[in-house]
Amino acid sequence: MGVAFVSEADRLTWERARREGERAGPSRLEELANVSTWSPVVVTPTASGGELGPVDVPSAPRYRVLAWEEDGTSWTGDWMSGAPPRSGGVDLGVLRATPPTGVRVRLLSTHADAGPFSLRVTRGVDAQPAEAERASAWLTLVRLAAPVLASALRDGSPLPVSLGQDTVLAPLPPDRLVRIWLRARSGQEAGPVEVPLREGRIEPVTLDADRLFPGGMAGTVTLHGRVTLGDASRAPPGAVVELPGGHALTVEPDGRFLAPELPAWRPTRFTLRVPEPSRGRPVAPARWAFTFTPTAGHTEAEEAWRVPAYRWLLLQLDGFTRGQLAARAQAPFPVYALQRRDDAGAWRDVAAEAFLPEPEGLAVSLTSPGTYRVLIATSSVSVTPSPAVSLNAADLEGAVSPRLGDEGVPCEVVVTEGGRPVYGAEVTAAGEVASLPPLRGHTDAEGRWRLGRVKGSALHVEVGASGHASWEREAAAECLRSGRIEVRW
């Protein structure tokens, strides 16, 4: 039984719609009353059925009753009044039985060893919104009467099904159809099989696994895996291996782990998780993905992977350089970016998981040998590259000492209209490093907005103001030549 109330927000919205003459929505306010909590009540058997109540209830504009039998047969009662009763009783009358809507599934297969099998089901709602809404109103009964089935419809959780036995899925919302997938023990799926529904009927459907899996049902494979840190013979400290879905596998100190019953018909992607150390630098990425691809016909497999061990680039920042950064940068700057020189000698942005502040400066994680540098951005238009440092396979750390210097040109944007300054124009400026956040600001009473020092060969500026067409330009040359970008409307 549920006691239903109208929320204050729904009431105000409904009353406003009535005043404004809108016809959408229910004609009666009490139709908006919703049940927040359903409570079980006792039904007393009688010669002609069963009797509910009397049950003490608070005064409310709506009362609802749902009853059901194990086969999905249901009874529904719904009482509404614009004037909630203050005393006395509420009689819902005699409730008539409604036969369930559902399907009866019979599973056939000559490959019992591919089981146990399960089903995945989804709704096939009607294209007409009114019909879809009417069918969805039955979901409350499904949640109460068949919570496992409701969970399967909501999030795709599997429903068990047995060979040669009927599995009844009821009650279902009276949708246009229901879609059913058959899943083997390995996780391999076939389908969907679409079953048209008729309200109040249990529709029979036979799933022939041999036909649904014409290429045969793949089995499972047990993986004896090993993950080691770099060239070492041990795993990263505290590491665990996760399967898709988040199930964690124990990793032994030597890196070995056991993954039973993996799908033999497709690759499995694992994630190695390495916890942050309580002190010191991490030794490996916090998350590292690797893939196992089974060999056809094999039920056992053994494979090893090497997790890249961190080496480090230390950006040594002395007191003078730190002072320059504090004076020139405003939040969210300074921002640091890692670059690696490719085989052609060009610098390319590369990802670095760790930028760790340390007493000497900043430690940047690297996962492979090579030649690196760090870009130090005090703004998106003022970026200084550090000296390059090369690390070979035996090097665990390299260090550089950058200098910001006084390079660059102080630059400003000046916005005028008919020779008069424009106050409050919005200016956006982005430099040559696309990953850096752009600078944003507004012109002052003199129509000026100062970018600060500008370095680099790229400067994209956009200016906008109410009542004016947007203005944009590549302005690096103009800025470096005169220190001034003129915007004239």
Domain co-membership, 127 together with 158? yes
Domain co-membership, 282 together with 332? no
At 116, is the pLDDT very low, low, confident or very high (cuts 50, 70, 90)?
confident
SS3 10: helix
pLDDT tens digits, one per residue of 345-383: 999 999 999 999 999 899 999 999 999 999 998 888 888
Here the CATH number for the domain that contains residue 174 is 2.60.40.1120
Percent above pLDDT 70 for the chain: 100
Range name among 205-219, 237-251, 384-398, 416-430 with the lowest pLDDT average: 205-219
Last residue of a domain, one of 188, 212, 236: 212
Residue 94 falls inside a structural domain: no
Residue 269: per-residue pLDDT = 96
Domain of 60 in residue numbering reads as: 2-80
Rounded to whole angstroms, the Cα distance separating 442 from 57 reads 61
Residue 263 falls inside a structural domain: yes
Residue 215: per-residue pLDDT = 76
Domain co-membership, 21 together with 8? yes
Across all residues in the chain, what is the average pLDDT? 91
At 77, is the pLDDT very low, low, confident or very high (cuts 50, 70, 90)?
very high
Domain co-membership, 394 together with 422? no
Domain co-membership, 385 together with 414? no
Mean pLDDT of 4-10: 93
CA distances from 85 to 34, 90, 242 (A): 17, 8, 58
Rounded to whole angstroms, the Cα distance separating 459 from 174 reads 61
Q: Please, what's the b/e burial string for 258-288 (b: 16 or more CB within 10 A of its CB; e: otherwise)?
A: ebeebbbbeebebebbbeeeeeeebbbbeeb
Residue 318 falls inside a structural domain: yes
Here the CATH number for the domain that contains residue 285 is 2.60.40.2070
Domain co-membership, 482 together with 413? yes
Rounded to whole angstroms, the Cα distance separating 441 from 8 reads 42
CB-based contact 146:102 (threshold 8 Å): no
For the sheet with 102-108, list strands across it. 166-169, 102-108, 202-208
Domain co-membership, 143 together with 128? yes
**End-to-end C-alpha distance for the chain, whole angstroms:** 69
Domain total of the chain: 5
Percent above pLDDT 90 for the chain: 68
Rounded to whole angstroms, the Cα distance separating 77 from 4 reads 13
Residue 26: per-residue pLDDT = 84
Residue 62 falls inside a structural domain: yes
Could you tell me which of 292, 289, 243 has the C-alpha nearest to residue 267?
292
Rounded to whole angstroms, the Cα distance separating 21 from 15 reads 10
Residue 352 falls inside a structural domain: yes
pLDDT tens digits, one per residue of 128-143: 999 999 999 999 999 9
Residue 297: per-residue pLDDT = 81
Residue 95 falls inside a structural domain: no
What does the block give as tokens for 260?
């039973």
Rounded to whole angstroms, the Cα distance separating 125 from 265 reads 32
